[in-house]
Amino acid sequence: MTELVLSFEGPRKQVRPDRCEAAPLLRTALDLIRLIERIGEHASTTTDEPEFAVTLTELRAGSVKFVLGFTSRHGPSTAAAAEAGVAAAQLAPKYLASPKAGPAAVRKRVDALASSLTKLPTYVKAHLRGTVEADLSALVQAEVEGAFATSVETFRATILRAGGTHPRVQLKFDGRTFTFDAPQEIAKQAGATLYAEADVMALLQRDADQAILHGVIQTLRVLEPGDPVDAIDQWYEASGKPWAKVKDIEKALGRRKLA
């Protein structure tokens, strides 16, 4: 079961709602929801809004705990909405730890949440519990600088989607799905070749755990049937790697070197 809990905790874990000002808690909850939905919005390339909506499923007794869920905005696929919502929620703490990383629209929501967290009463700390675990207050207080690295990387990926008011391309590689910003011409090219394999060069931001926070595609080359580069790659994958550590190929083949 997917359960995301925004938990406000004090020295003894509990923060009694009848003894704590409501506005800072509600503001923090709202800014977290807005951040998660903005991350989902960036991941969507078709409607410029997230595939999911965040719902408040329960106010848990004993402390101030907002139990959040996800529902589909556009159809009956609650499971897909929950998957997209959890993926966005997992990125929220990473962006909070690296406030200068990510798309500009996401950074604005990160700044708003960070501001709300710093305005909580000093004895109240905000945590995510359940499907995603994170000490949100500690991430803001740490004020980590340089918590992400930027590099140009090349990789092969499958094009899944492309589009949006602000052009984006959704790619699948390394067994995962990512949505990157892209120039309009590249997004247009990608949109005309959905599900094709492509060689991609992108400027990527990664956190200390090497998780991708954001990417901007710089070049995208769609592989055509019979592509010579693809053929070489396939040959190397099948035949070239065993020879990678051989220092003297002539000797390994039993050949005599010419004088």
Rounded average pLDDT per 10-residue block, the chain, 259 residues: 87 77 94 96 81 90 87 80 93 91 92 96 93 94 70 96 92 94 95 95 91 95 75 61 61 56
CATH architecture assignment, domain 148-224: Beta Barrel (2.40)
Res 233: pLDDT: 66
- Looking at residue 12, what is its pLDDT? 73
> What is the pLDDT at residue 224?
82
Instruction: Evaluate whether 4 touches 68 at the Cβ level (below 8 Å).
Output: yes
Of the candidates 78, 82, 58, 76, the one whose C-alpha atom is nearest the C-alpha of residue 68 is 58
Q: What is the pLDDT of residue 100?
A: 87
Q: Tokens 């998780």: give the residue.
A: 211
Given this model, what pLDDT does residue 18 score?
A: 78
Residue boundaries of the structural domains of the chain: 4-142, 148-224
Q: How many CB atoms lie within 10 A of CB 76?
A: 8
Q: What is the pTM of this model?
A: 0.78
Give the largest CA-CA distance in the chain.
92
